[in-house]
Amino acid sequence: MALNYDEQRFLLFAGYTYYPGCAWEDFRGAYATQEEARDACAQFADEHLNWYQIVDRQTLALVEEGKLSDRLSAT
């Protein structure tokens, strides 16, 4: 089943504080809503990544960023 990226408005980036990838190497997925992207953070915290950013594809605005450990404690 192919994903329709037109419906995946929010891009999730996550990585290591001390060893960041190079831009797209930190890309973790595209999601329909900001909430879905935020919920996906738990998966990447389990992979020991430290930070996350959510970007709105339509406006190219950074809409949320933070530490993955903070996201886990918020749930």
Question: Torsions phi, psi of 7, nearest 5?
Answer: -90, -5
**How many distinct structural domains can be found in the chain?**
1
Question: Torsions phi, psi of 21, nearest 5?
Answer: -75, -170
Strands 61-67 and 27-31, sheet pairing: unpaired
Task: Using alpha carbons only, give the angle 55, 56, 58 rounded to the nearest 5 degrees.
Answer: 145
pLDDT digits (tens, 9 = 90+) for 29-47: 999 999 999 999 888 877 7
pTM, 2 dp = 0.81
In the structure, what pLDDT confidence band is assigned to residue 4 with cuts at 50, 70 and 90? low
Any idea what DSSP says for residue 4?
-
Residue whose pair of structure tokens reads 């190079």 in the numeric block: 22
Question: What is the mean pLDDT of the segment spanning 13-37?
Answer: 87
CA distances to 2, 5, 37 from 66, in Å: 30, 24, 13
The residue range of the domain holding 38 is 5-74
